[in-house]
A and B are shown apart, each in its own frame.
Chain A
Amino acid sequence: MFLDAIHRRVIDDPDGIAVRTQTRAISNAALWDEMTSLAAWLLRQGLVPGDVVGISIKDEHKHLLASLAAMLAGVPQIALPTHDPSEARTEIARRLRIAAVLAEGPDNSLKGFTTLAPDFEYRATTDDPGWDFSARPAGDVCLYAASSGTTGKAKIIPLTGAQLLHQSLTAHRLPERAVLYRPASIEFNNSKRHRLYSLASGGTNILLQAAPTDVAEICRRFGVTQLLVSVAQAKRLLDLKESDARLPEQTEIQLRGSPVDDEMRKAITTHITRRLVVGYGATEFGSIASALPEDHAGHPSTVGWPHRGVEMEIVDDDDRRIATGRIGRVRVHGAGMATHYYDDEQATASAFRGGWFYPGDVGHLGSGGDLRFDGRADDMMVLSSINIFPAEIERVAETLHGVKECAAFSIKSAGFGDIPLLAVVNDGSTTANEVLAEARNALGLRAPRRVFFVGSLPRNAEGKVVRSELRRLFEQRNGSRAVA
């Protein structure tokens, strides 16, 4: 179903521009030709529909092509980002029993798995098969997305073509012919899905990596209508001179993934653009709600109203709906929603119940029916839009040499969100820097940025680690070194 939407645009608007890179403008028809050729090449390598592939390709255009080609070949995919440590990529690859890693070179191969270096120059011939993608069962998974898990094990979210298409349709403000620019790597699954949404809704993707100083210029040069950035990226724009940060009139800025306070909304609308959209969503669901430019003044702190086709409720711990204004757990239902986590009954039972998805957020409804976000129900950290659960750091750290017990916590950064740190009770046989180095090797971007030793972990009466006390301890120790 998802490919039907992309194919439709090839029929209706073959010369429309699907992708712009630094050097090329690629039409809908040309992109379709490229992806069909690469799909044929994938099958020529011995892959068969139903095999799962990992994609470890940093180049934006090539990754997108590999992703579309895999869908066309009926080969479900998962991104194995090149910036992730090989251990983390290998764990995902093993769990999904992938048939091959699509990678540009040996640097990103995984021990024990076949590596295929896609031939992007291959052109399909009459010997290659035709494509009957419309006949595929709607329940076939086309894409797996990996996300952090509260238990420390990554959650793997299977999405069918139908779910992906519904997510595209409800992705707010991606109207036909939108020109989308999201200056974050396609290897991040949310970035990738937005690029796919844009293709399915007839838009143009701008595939460029850029410094913050270039963002406004890129928006001008390419006629960007939708700029999707993280809160951290928006803060970097606000650090610039107004003349460098000010977006052209046609560009709307969309912020998702972290809370946006009233002060920041005012700063953005004053210095960057009046066209600010704040959104709320989840990898398991896609976009859930949005607050439009006209909504911010009357509803400070709102993350908006649910999109058409999305049901949203606030419930208590017994899943009973609670009154407007009272804080409870958020739950949502809609056609683009995943139904389970791959091979993880415990996480599935916790997040998918009675036809609802529970994102793990706490909130309340405003008097107008909009959602006010009040925080996470767990201790999740958000570092520059990367979700990190303490448990995933702790699970790895507990296996490291010299670590008797440990607890992850975070300190706040105005620019980047939550910076993960790790308190360790050690056995005297290792140094904090050695633990840190090993944790970095194992966790990559999800690693703690500092390890410090403590005599014991502070715990409450129930034995639960008091992370706020660890934060206080860290700041107390660092206080003598901090710059005023």
Chain B
Amino acid sequence: MTDRSLAECYRIVAEAVNTCSVALPPIDASEVTESIGSFQDLGFDSLAFMEFCIAIHVETGMEISVAKLDELGSPNAVARYLSGMAA
């Protein structure tokens, strides 16, 4: 499905979370790997979900729907999804 490494996907997702301005201070890829919680824990609202989807689209060219985010539940799961591990 993709040739993107999991480490690269963690970086992309961390940047997308930071774009949404819900995480203060900004997070880095290692936090997506280990300690970050669910979107709910991060305080994502509908605008944050939109911004997250857009950031992923602009960075990867991949359209990911809000419903899919809801199903995946957390940035960590999205990174694994993007890398193809959990597709």
Contact = CB atoms under 8 A, between A and B. Distances in A.
B59 interface: yes
B53 A415 contact: yes
A236 interface: yes
Contacts of B61: 475, 478-479, 481-483
Nearest to A83: B47
A11 interface: no
Contacts of A413: 53-54, 57, 63
A449 B54 contact: yes
Contacts of B54: 413, 416, 419, 449
Contact of B55 (A236, A449, A475): A449
Nearest to A244: B67
Nearest to A482: B61
B49 to A, nearest CB: 8
A25 to B, nearest CB: 25
B62 interface: yes
Contacts of B66: 212, 236, 239, 415
A211 interface: yes
B1 interface: yes
Contacts of A240: 67
Nearest to B51: A449
* Interface residue range, chain A: 20 to 34
A450 B46 contact: no
B50 A416 contact: yes
B24 interface: no
Interface in B59-87: 59-63, 65-68, 70, 82
* Interface residue range, chain B: 20 to 34
Contact of A239 (B1, B55, B62, B68): B68
Contacts of A232: 50
Contact of A483 (B45, B47, B60, B67): B60
A416 B67 CA distance: 13
Contacts of B46: 209, 211
A411 B60 contact: no
Contacts of A478: 58, 61
Chain B interface SS verdict (over half): helix
A255 to B, nearest CB: 17
Nearest to A481: B60
Contacts of A83: 47
Contacts of B58: 411, 419, 421, 449-450, 478
A414 B53 CA distance: 11
A461 interface: no
A212 B67 contact: yes
Interface in A207-228: 209, 211-213
Interface in A227-272: 232, 235-236, 239-240
A415 B68 CA distance: 12
A190 interface: no
B70 A483 contact: no
Contacts of A235: 65
Interface string A403-423: 000000001011110010100
A239 B66 CA distance: 8
Contacts of B57: 411, 413, 419
Contacts of A348: none
A148 interface: no
Given A384-B50, A421-B58, A415 B1 contact: no
A484 interface: yes
A411 B55 CA distance: 12
A246 to B, nearest CB: 15
Contact of B65 (A239, A384, A421, A475): A239
Nearest to A213: B70
A54 B19 CA distance: 28
A482 B12 CA distance: 12
B2 interface: yes
A445 B48 CA distance: 11
Contacts of A209: 45-46
Contacts of B62: 482-483
A483 B55 contact: no
B53 A481 contact: no
Given A413-B57, A413-B63, A419-B58, A483 B1 contact: yes
Contacts of A479: 61
Contacts of A384: 50
A209 B46 CA distance: 9
User: What 5 A-B pairs have minimum CB-CB distances, sorted nearest first?
Assistant: A482-B61, A239-B67, A483-B62, A239-B65, A483-B60
Given A213-B67, A482-B62, 11 more contacts: A83-B47, A235-B65, A239-B65, A384-B50, A416-B54, A449-B55, A478-B58, A481-B60, A482-B60, A483-B61, A483-B62
Interface of B: 1-2, 4, 19, 45-47, 50, 53-55, 57-63, 65-68, 70, 82
24 contacts: A209-B45, A209-B46, A211-B46, A213-B67, A239-B65, A239-B67, A240-B67, A411-B57, A413-B57, A413-B63, A415-B63, A416-B54, A419-B54, A419-B57, A419-B58, A445-B47, A449-B58, A481-B59, A481-B60, A482-B60, A482-B61, A483-B1, A483-B2, A483-B62
